[in-house]
Amino acid sequence: MKKNDGGFHFFSILKDSIPLFLNTTTRNATMAFQSVSTRAVLKGGVRKEFAWRVISDFNSYPSLVNTVQKVVVHERNEREGRSEWFVSLEDAPMRWMEKDYFDADNFGLRFESIDGDFEQINGTWKVEDFNSEGIELAYSLDYDLGIPVIEEVVGAVLKEKMKTTIENMVQSIVAQLHRSSHVEERVFKRTPIQAYNNIRLNGKDLRVRIINISQRGILFESRVDDCTEARLVIGDVSVIADVHSMGSSLKTRALFQKEITNEDVEHLAGYLTTNNQRSHARKAVGKNSVLRATNRTVLVHIVDISPSGMLIECFDHVDVLDEAFEVGGVAIAPRKKIFNAEDKTLRVQFAHTLDESDFSGFAEKLDPRTRPIEMQMT
C-alpha cells in the first residue's frame, strides 16, 4: 500500500496513541466488530486447488504482499495451526497471533486471533467456481481494536484503511496466481477417460484411474506426493509435469510444463481407453454376504469380482487379513490383500486367475438375485 508522504499518517498516530489510552482506559471486549471484505474473479485458468495452496501458504506472504513484514508459523497440521503475523500499515508496525483452521476439501480457511495489538481480528478465505468462466477469491475480515475512544474518533478512517489493505493483499495474490506456471487455461478441452491404466512417474510404476486429460495436463485418482519437474510417462508419450495432490482427496493433477498437441491428446486418449487396461473386466455384484471369522459373524458387502480378484465393503477385521477364506464353498487363495481402514474396504487379489468355467460358477453363486452367500475365513 502506498504511503501518503505529504499528509496524514493515520496508523502512525494510531500506534503512538494506543499506549496513552491504555494508561487511562481498558479494552472493551463488547465493542462491536467492524467488517470488511473483498472479492476477485480470475477468469481463465487458475485451478481452485492451486489457488488454495497459495492462500494457505503463509510463509510466502512476505514476498507476495508488501504490507506483510514477517509470518512465523509456530505449528501446523492438515486441519489447523498457529501463526504469528507482523504487518506494516503505513508507518505503524502491528502484530497478532492467530489460530488457523484449514479446509482443503472445500478450498477455504479461517483464522481467529488469540493475542496481539487488536482486541480481536478474525478472517476467512474461500475459493469458489465462478460460473464457467474461472474462479473467485473471497476474503473477509472482522476486527475490534478494543479501544472505544479511538474507534469513536477515527473508526471510519480505520475501516477505510483496512478495506484498502485487504484489497491490495488480494490483488497481490491474484497477480501471483496469474504469473504462476501452474495455470491451466480452461480453453483446453478435457477429454474424459474414466479408466484404470499404468503410468510411470519418476521411474516408478503406478496403477491409477485416469479421469481426464487435456493439452495442459492429466487428472488421475491415486494420491502421490507433490513433486516439481517430474517425468511422467504414459504409453510412449513422455512429458515433464508439476504433480500435486488435491487436498486430502485421492485425486492428483499433473500439469504439463509445456502443452502437448491435439494430436498427442487424441493419441493418448486412444491408448488409455483401448490399451493396457486391467487384464480382466470387473463384474459388478452388489451382494450382501455373511462373513464368519474367528468366532465372529458379521455382514459384509461384495462390490465386484473379476477372475483375478474381488472387492469387499464393510470390512473391519484386520486381525484376519493373513487368513485364506471360502466364498460359497469356493476356496480362495489370496495372493495379496489391500485393506483401506478409512473406507473399510478389502481388495483381494487371487493367487491364481480363475478360468472361464470357475469364474462363471463363482459369478453365478454371487448373483444378487440368489440367497445370501456365506464367506468363511479359514
User: What would the CATH number be for the domain defined by 283-377?
Assistant: 2.60.40
CA distance 48 to 134: 9
Contacts of 368 (CB under 8 A, 6+ apart): 285, 286, 287
User: Of 192, 223, 227, which is closest to residue 207 (Cα–Cα)?
Assistant: 223
User: Of 247, 55, 57, which is closest to residue 137 (Cα–Cα)?
Assistant: 55
Detail the DSSP E strand segments found in 202-261: 204-213, 217-221, 227-234, 237-245, 251-256
Phi-psi map region of 131: left, alpha, beta (phi>0 left; psi -120 to 50 alpha): left
Amino acid at 49: E
Q: Which architecture characterizes domain 191-274 according to CATH?
A: Beta Barrel (2.40)
- In eight-state DSSP terms, residue 58 is G
Query: What residue segments make up the domains of the chain, in order of their start?
Result: 10-179, 191-274, 283-377
Residue 2: its pLDDT value, please?
A: 35
Residue 24: its pLDDT value, please?
A: 41
CA distance 77 to 193: 34
Enclosing H/E stretch for 104: none
Q: Report CA Rg, the chain.
A: 29
CA distance 3 to 89: 9
First-residue to last-residue Cα distance in the chain: 72
CA distance 66 to 68: 6
CA distance 200 to 166: 43
Place of cell 486367475: 353
- Supply 60's cell numbers: 510466502
User: Of 143, 174, 175, which is closest to residue 37 (Cα–Cα)?
Assistant: 143
From residue 8, how far is each of 68, 92, 148 by CA, in Å?
21, 13, 21
Report, as ranges of residue numbers, the positions in the chain whose pLDDT lies below 70.
1-32, 44-45, 90, 132, 147-155, 180-187, 228, 246-249, 275-281, 293-296, 315-325, 328-330, 342-343, 372-373, 376-378
- pTM for the full model? 0.47
> Phi and psi of 154, rounded to 5°?
-120, 15
Hey, what CATH class is 10-179 in? Answer: alpha beta
pLDDT tens digits, residue range 149-158?
556 656 677 7
Q: How many Cα atoms sit within 13 Å of 1 on the Cβ side?
A: 24
Contact by Cβ (8 Å): 268, 234: yes
Contacts of 328 (CB under 8 A, 6+ apart): 362, 365, 366, 373, 374, 375
For the chain, what is the total number of helices (H) and then of strands (E)? 6, 21
CA dihedral 313, 318, 320, 326 (to 10 degrees): 10
